[in-house]
Amino acid sequence: LASAFEVEKRNGLTLYTGHYPKKPAPGVYLRPFVVSDGVSYALKFDVYYYYNIDDPQQTAWVHGDALAASVDGRSYHLAFNTKERRDKMSPDAENLAENYVHDATKEETALLRAISNAQNVSITYYQQATGDARSQTLSREDIKKIHDMMAFYDAVAQEN
């Protein structure tokens, strides 16, 4: 399974990611990945929102603090600590990104497991106070990447 992922060494750690583009189409994405120090493995949860000025939805900054997901009709809701959100704007203000990356919680792991076996998934990244939001339907490719990452994580976690 590891050969299906992009492998990057960083500060003594090995990151296994799903070949995620630096500048995807505007939208919100779930991009889980696995990190290893050579002994143990950790599942990371990554919500990534990307916007550029050519985006017809014109959502711009969401400053999200929550994620809602519909997975084959079942609802999931996650809330995030806004101090963990990373906001980034390009120097020319052509695009911006927001994301949360941290060790996956039990709830986030359960959501990823549900998605990995689903047929229909839609997610909404939003700010609870204002209602600003961006929604996305996950493609079959997005779901497969999550499925493969969860299978890889389960395999390496079981070995350790």
Q: What's the token pair of residue 109?
A: 């792991």
pLDDT in tens, 112-158: 999 999 999 999 999 999 999 999 999 999 999 999 999 999 999 87
pLDDT in tens, 97-122: 999 999 999 999 999 999 999 999 99
Are the CB atoms for 120 and 142 separated by under 8 Å? no
Phi–psi pair at 148, nearest 5 degrees: -65, -40
pTM over 0.85: yes
Band (pLDDT 50/70/90 cuts) for residue 4 is confident
Are the CB atoms for 122 and 93 separated by under 8 Å? no
